């Protein structure tokens, strides 16, 4: 029995600390004073991915960020106009919002749902909220799988998610992708809920955990270091940008 | 242990009652099989016992249910968690954790068993059910059979008195079903009261104490252990059940057209995932018009990948695919093939049956006429304005096949078309496939359903370790070979 699996992966943070980091990153990015700060945040996010050994995630995230920065760069060469300003505005929002989702995915990947539920219970978060969040995290990988099947059928039916279809019939194509996903999700969430109830997830009694979930000194140390880096980056870039 | 007294139940929104005046008493330690075709009400009975009916699936309930001496009216689903363990049909949608050990611990954690005790129980469950090798694995890497074992282990760890299983073999291959039988055997010996609803019963023949046949929401027949064991294939089929003695199934005798024109040919086809292990290496396969090729092999051997390559959804890393002698690239294959997937839910996009048929084509007069004929053939004509989501699983599947016919391609692939189907639905799918083949189409079908395969396929393509291990026609003389491939064991005659 490897009861203490958390020791194996040295940098595996407590779910609470992960949640804290998600919140810190999302809000810090929104208050990023300039591009320099944003780049710094992007860099930290990729480092966090690497620290947990999520290589594929790190690669995808880095590419996404690179695209944003590239568009930013191109935009700076476009002469001033209403259109450019509009695009710039949208980009400004997207660049910042994306960090929240990317960090959410960072937290969600390889998350042990039962640890998460226990950690939330220790924080005295109401059970209803915890369960909803747990199901959401649990559901992400399933949706990815389901969506692959839907995409396949769409291809074969001639309504695939191709550039041509998306440009010519954006609303229809979107509908075709989402309708089966929703119907499928309803079935699965129903079955999941039925199974969870027969296994006592809603019981009032205090939940136990087969693995120890408690905050360690290393949790504080690690999270503290990351948060300091975030603050230092924001402050530093604000001073530099002046 | 369980007493069901004059229970009638009608689901909210349903037009007809699911159960009519059902009474059933089950003794402690008894192993009872609930038999019947899809939609007969056997699942509803299992839900009475764990109280999902009427608490989760609402509706009108009459009569009384006692579990372990208590009237379930006074209990909630959660209260019964420690008494009744439930295992469901689809192992994909009953997991909460993302790793196996946490999943086994889940029920114990919920009822608040101390940590040391949970660890002990996990270890014991793994030992008793022979699944130590599955501990500390990611749920997403497991095969359906392995998932089902974990689902049972999770329930077992809580040590309930009663175990309720709803079609647990529906998504399992033959070898995994054998393992399920062994697990059930162990549980029975430990004195569990077991209730299992099934229409695939060959694996339960030797362990059931009693079987109850449910038809149209009523108990119509009870069989004791020996009557159940000696149930013949014909009798079982008449009740809507799958055959009991698989070895005695013979493929239908057909006049083989020799030298049918070649329609599809795969030459040295290889495919490599970037990092995972599932690969195909030098697959060679050729099939003529009217052939139905059954692609068999253990889980994760690349059966579905092969279909996806044939349909152009994945690009081969090496080799060639030829249609009618012409090499075709993946783009052309997307246009000239169709894939009917396992779950119909992914494949229906519009708000009515009729619209579904004309999606992706222009719906000209000729097609309109053809569509009408197809709906008639599939028994869907009366439903043409209905929303696909509101139809039964069988109807949805027939609609998917109708959609495939509308596209009218020469090559059509099917991924596990009969998982979870009862006898008459399976025969229905089988005859639809035969019709398509008679029109000169070539069908590639992945399956682990032995009975369906014997009814349907003209050839078998056995994949092992990413290669074609053998390819041969389905003929009576090959029966033992086919059996041993699907069940992964030698035939004892």
What is the per-residue pLDDT across B402-439, written as a single tens digit (0 to 9) for each? 999 988 899 999 999 998 889 999 999 999 999 999 99
Task: Judge whether residue B492 has pLDDT over 70.
Answer: no
A20 Cα to chain B: minimum distance (Å): 22
Under the banding of pLDDT at 50, 70 and 90, the label for residue A212 is: confident
Task: Judge whether residue B473 has pLDDT over 80.
Answer: yes
In the structure encoding, which two tokens stand for residue B450, read together? 């032995």
Under the banding of pLDDT at 50, 70 and 90, the label for residue B191 is: very high
Cβ contact A200–B86 (<8 Å) = no
CA distances (Å), B221 to each of B7, B205, B211, in order? 17, 17, 8
Which residue shows structure tokens 């998917």? Answer: B400
**CA B386 distance to own-chain centroid:** 26
CA distances (Å), B192 to each of A166, B163, B183, B381, in order? 56, 7, 12, 48
In the structure encoding, which two tokens stand for residue B456, read together? 């349907």
pLDDT digits (tens, 9 = 90+) for B327-364: 999 999 999 999 998 888 888 898 899 889 888 777 68
Under the banding of pLDDT at 50, 70 and 90, the label for residue B89 is: confident
pLDDT of residue B277: 55
Task: Judge whether residue B9 has pLDDT over 90.
Answer: yes
Task: Judge whether residue A227 has pLDDT over 70.
Answer: yes
Question: Is residue B283 a contact partner of residue B266, using CB atoms and an 8 Å limit?
Answer: yes
Task: Judge whether residue A45 has pLDDT over 90.
Answer: yes
A205 Cα to chain B: minimum distance (Å): 7
- DSSP at B74: G
Mutate to test the interface with B, among A147, A195, A209 (most CBs of B within 10 A): A195
Query: Three-state SS for B459?
Result: strand
Cβ contact B81–A154 (<8 Å) = no
Dihedral angle, C-alpha B386, B392, B396, B398, nearest 10 °:
-110
Under the banding of pLDDT at 50, 70 and 90, the label for residue A4 is: very low
**B328 part of contact set with chain A, CB < 8 Å:** no
CA distance B120 to B138: 21
Q: Which of A142-146, A217-221, B226-230 has the highest mean pLDDT?
A: B226-230
Average pLDDT, integer, range B249-267: 77
Surface of B (33-62) touching A: CB under 8 A:
50, 52, 56-57
Q: Any residues with CB less than 8 A from the CB of A139 and at least 6 apart, and which?
A: A185, A188, A189
Residues linked to residue B67 through DSSP beta bridges, in sequence order: B2, B70
Question: What residue of B is the nearest CA neighbor of A156?
Answer: B334
Question: Is residue B96 a contact partner of residue A201, using CB atoms and an 8 Å limit?
Answer: yes
Task: Judge whether residue A6 has pLDDT over 70.
Answer: no
Question: Is residue B94 a contact partner of residue A191, using CB atoms and an 8 Å limit?
Answer: yes
pLDDT of residue B142: 84
Surface of B (203-242) touching A: CB under 8 A:
none
pLDDT of residue B278: 57
B283 Cα to chain A: minimum distance (Å): 22
The rounded radius of gyration (Å) of the Cα atoms in chain A is 21
Mutate to test the interface with A, among B86, B88, B94, B304 (most CBs of A within 10 A): B94
Mutate to test the interface with B, among A156, A194, A213 (most CBs of B within 10 A): A156
**B78 part of contact set with chain A, CB < 8 Å:** yes
CA distance B94 to B85: 13
**B133 part of contact set with chain A, CB < 8 Å:** no
Cβ contact B98–A138 (<8 Å) = yes
Q: Any residues with CB less than 8 A from the CB of A158 and at least 6 apart, and which?
A: B335, B360, B361
Query: Three-state SS for B27?
Result: coil
Q: Any residues with CB less than 8 A from the CB of B491 and at least 6 apart, and which?
A: B247, B480, B483, B484
A185 Cα to chain B: minimum distance (Å): 10
Give the DSSP H or E segment for A77. helix A55-77
DSSP codes, B148-198: HHHHHHHHHHT--SEEEEESTTTT--HHHHHHHHHHHHHHHHTT-EEEEEE
**CA B24 distance to own-chain centroid:** 27
Average pLDDT, integer, range A36-44: 92
Cβ contact A195–B119 (<8 Å) = no
pLDDT of residue A10: 45
Residues of B in contact with A111 (CB under 8 A): 98
pLDDT of residue A242: 66
Q: How many CB pairs under 8 A join A and B?
A: 172
CA distances (Å), B248 to each of A35, A66, B170, B293, in order? 74, 63, 22, 22
Question: Is residue B84 a contact partner of residue A124, using CB atoms and an 8 Å limit?
Answer: no
List the single residue in A138, A200, A209 with the smallest CB-CB distance to B78. Answer: A200
pLDDT of residue B493: 56
Cβ contact B349–A156 (<8 Å) = no
Cβ contact B107–A113 (<8 Å) = no
pLDDT of residue A3: 40
Give the DSSP H or E segment for A132. helix A127-156
**B144 part of contact set with chain A, CB < 8 Å:** no
pLDDT of residue B275: 57
Residues of B in contact with A132 (CB under 8 A): none
In the structure encoding, which two tokens stand for residue B342, read together? 């396992």
pLDDT of residue A8: 42
Handedness of CA A50, A54, A57, A59 (dihedral sign): positive
Classify residue B193 as exposed, middle or buried by CB count within 10 Å of its CB (0-12, 13-18, 19+).
Answer: buried
Average pLDDT, integer, range B49-56: 92
Under the banding of pLDDT at 50, 70 and 90, the label for residue B256 is: low
Averaged pLDDT score across all residues of chain B: 90
- DSSP at B241: P
In the structure encoding, which two tokens stand for residue B38, read together? 């899809």
**B340 part of contact set with chain A, CB < 8 Å:** no
Percent of chain B with pLDDT over 70: 97
Residues of A in contact with B84 (CB under 8 A): 198
**B408 part of contact set with chain A, CB < 8 Å:** no
């Amino acid at each position: 029995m490897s009861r203490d699996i958390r020791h194996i992966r040295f940098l595996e943070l407590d779910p609470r600390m992960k949640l804290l980091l998600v919140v810190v990153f999302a809000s810090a990015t929104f208050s990023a004073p300039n591009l320099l700060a944003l780049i710094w945040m992007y860099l930290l996010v990729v480092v966090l991915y690497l620290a947990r050994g999520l290589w594929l995630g790190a690669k995808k995230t880095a590419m996404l960020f690179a695209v944003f920065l590239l568009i930013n760069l191109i935009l700076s060469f476009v002469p001033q106009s209403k259109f450019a300003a509009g695009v710039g505005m949208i980009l400004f929002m997207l660049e910042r919002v994306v960090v929240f989702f990317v960090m959410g995915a960072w937290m969600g990947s390889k998350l042990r749902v039962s640890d998460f539920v226990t950690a939330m219970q220790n924080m005295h978060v109401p059970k209803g909220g915890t369960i909803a969040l747990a199901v959401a995290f649990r559901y992400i990988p399933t949706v990815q799988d389901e969506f692959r099947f839907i995409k396949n059928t769409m291809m074969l039916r001639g309504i695939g998610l191709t550039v041509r279809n998306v440009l010519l019939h954006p609303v229809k194509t979107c509908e075709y992708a989402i309708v089966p996903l929703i119907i499928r999700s309803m079935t699965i969430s129903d079955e999941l809920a039925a199974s969870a109830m027969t296994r006592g997830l809603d019981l009032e009694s205090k939940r136990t955990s087969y693995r120890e979930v408690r905050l360690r000194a290393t949790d504080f140390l690690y999270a503290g270091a990351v948060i300091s880096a975030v603050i230092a980056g924001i402050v530093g870039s604000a001073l530099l940008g002046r | 242990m369980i007493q069901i007294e004059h229970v009638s139940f009608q689901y909210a929104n349903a037009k007809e009652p699911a159960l009519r005046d059902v009474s059933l008493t089950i003794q402690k330690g008894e192993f009872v099989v609930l038999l019947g075709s899809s939609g007969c009400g056997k699942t509803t009975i299992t839900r009475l016992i764990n109280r999902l009916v009427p608490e989760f699936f609402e509706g009108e309930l009459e009569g009384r249910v006692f579990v372990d001496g208590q009237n379930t009216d006074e209990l909630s689903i959660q209260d019964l968690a420690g008494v009744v363990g439930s295992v469901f049909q689809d192992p994909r949608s009953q997991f909460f954790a993302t790793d196996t050990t946490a999943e086994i611990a889940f029920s114990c954690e919920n009822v608040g068993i101390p940590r040391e005790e949970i660890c002990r129980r996990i270890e014991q469950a793994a030992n008793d059910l022979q699944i130590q090798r599955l501990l500390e694995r990611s749920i997403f890497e497991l095969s359906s059979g392995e998932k089902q074992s974990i689902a049972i282990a999770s329930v077992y760890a809580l040590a309930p008195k009663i175990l309720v299983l709803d079609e647990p073999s529906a998504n399992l291959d033959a070898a995994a079903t054998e393992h399920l039988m062994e697990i059930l055997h162990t549980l029975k010996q430990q004195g569990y009261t077991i209730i299992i609803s099934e229409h695939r019963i060959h694996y339960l023949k030797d362990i059931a104490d009693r079987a109850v046949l449910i038809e149209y929401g009523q108990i119509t027949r009870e069989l004791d252990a020996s009557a159940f064991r000696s149930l013949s294939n014909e009798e079982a089929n008449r009740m809507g059940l799958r055959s009991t003695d698989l070895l005695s199934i013979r493929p239908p005798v057909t006049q083989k057209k020799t030298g049918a024109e070649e329609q599809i040919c795969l030459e040295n086809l290889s495919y490599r995932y970037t990092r995972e292990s599932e690969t195909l290496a030098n697959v060679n396969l050729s099939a003529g018009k009217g052939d139905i090729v059954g692609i068999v092999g253990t889980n994760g051997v690349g059966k579905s990948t092969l279909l996806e390559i044939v349909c152009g959804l994945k690009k081969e890393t090496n080799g060639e695919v030829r249609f009618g002698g012409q090499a075709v690239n993946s783009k052309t294959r997307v246009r000239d093939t169709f894939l009917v997937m396992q779950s119909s839910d992914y494949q229906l996009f519009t708000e009515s049956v009729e619209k579904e048929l004309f999606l992706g084509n222009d719906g000209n007069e000729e097609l309109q006429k053809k569509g009408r004929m197809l709906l008639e053939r599939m028994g869907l004509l009366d439903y043409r304005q209905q929303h696909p989501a509101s139809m039964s699983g069988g109807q949805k599947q027939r609609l998917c096949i109708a959609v495939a016919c509308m596209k009218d391609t020469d090559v059509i692939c099917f991924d596990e078309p009969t998982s979870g189907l009862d006898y008459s639905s399976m025969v229905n799918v089988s005859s639809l496939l035969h019709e398509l083949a008679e029109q000169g189409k070539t069908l590639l079908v992945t399956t682990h359903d032995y009975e369906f395969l014997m009814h349907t396929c003209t050839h078998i393509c056995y994949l092992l370790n990413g290669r074609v291990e053998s390819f041969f026609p389905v003929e009576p003389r090959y029966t033992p070979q086919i059996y041993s491939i699907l069940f992964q064991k030698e035939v004892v005659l």
